[in-house]
Structure 1
Amino acid sequence: MKMFLISDNIDTCTGMRLAGVEGVVVHERDELKDALEKAIANKEIGILLLTEKFGREFPQIVDDVKLNHKTPLIIEIPDRHGTGRKPDFITGYVNEAIGLKL
C-alpha cells in the first residue's frame, strides 16, 4: 500500500516527495473533493495524508470521507508552519474519548 498527500502548500508537498510520498497541492473546496475522490478510487493508496488546514476549513468533507469509507486511512498532519492545534490537544482528545478528566 502507498501513502498519498493532499496539501495546501507546495513546501509540504515537496518535503513529502523527498521522502517518497507522492501528492497534489489543492486550494479550493472543489479541488479537495476531486482529489479525495481520486485517492479513494485508487486502491493502491492505503494512507491518505491531509494537511490540518483542510480539517479546519472543510470539516464536513473530511469527516464524510472518514465516516463513509474504510480505506484509505486519513491522517491530518501539520504543514510547514506547525500545528494549528492547542498544546493540550492529545489530553483533550483522550478526555473526550473516555469521558474522564486526566
Structure 2
Amino acid sequence: MKMFLISDNVDTKTGMRLAGVKGVVVHEREEVRAALDTALKDKDIGIILITEKLGKLIADDIKNIKLNYHTPLVVEIPDRHGTGRTPDSITKYVREAIGLRI
C-alpha cells in the first residue's frame, strides 16, 4: 500500500517526497476535496496524510472517512509551523467516535 500527501506547503511535500511519498500542494477547499476524492479512488493508497490546516477546511469529509471507511487511514500532520491541535484532541475524537468518555 502507498501513502499520499495532501499539503498546503511545498516544503512539506518536498520532505515527504524524499521519503518516497507522492503528493499534491493545494490551497482552496475545492482543490482539497478534489485531491481527496482522487486519492480515495486509488485503491493502492492505504494512508492519506493531510496537513492540519487543510484538514480544518474539510473537517466533515475527514471525519466521515475516519468513521465510515475501512481504508484509507487519514492522518492529519502538523506543518513546519507546528501543530494546531488542542491537548485533548485524541480524547475528543474517541468520545465522538464511540461515545465513551475517557
Short-chain TM bin = 0.7 to 0.9
The answer on 1:55 being equivalent to 2:49 is no
Shift in Å, 1:56: 2.0
Separation (CA, whole Å) in 2 of partners of 1:89 and 1:80: 21
Does structure 2 conserve the Cα–Cα contact (< 8 Å) formed by 1:48 and 1:73?
yes
Identify the residue that residue 22 of structure 1 maps to in structure 2: 22
Q: Deviations over 1:14-48 (max 9, x none)?
A: 11001111100111111111111110110110000
TM-score (norm 2): 0.83
AA at the equivalent of 2:91: Y
Task: Give secondary structure in 1 for the equivalent of 2:54.
Answer: helix
TM-score (norm 1): 0.83
Greater displacement, 51-60 / 19-28:
51-60
* Stretches of structure 2 lacking an aligned partner (at least 5 in a row): none
Q: Deviations over 1:69-100 (max 9, x none)?
A: 321110000011110123x336x617x63424
Shift in Å, 1:57: 2.6
Instruction: Give every structure 1 segment of 4 or more consecutive aligned residues whose post-TM-superposition deviation is greater than 6 Å.
Output: none
Select the structure of larger CA radius of gyration: 1
* Stretches of structure 1 lacking an aligned partner (at least 5 in a row): none
Number of aligned residues = 98
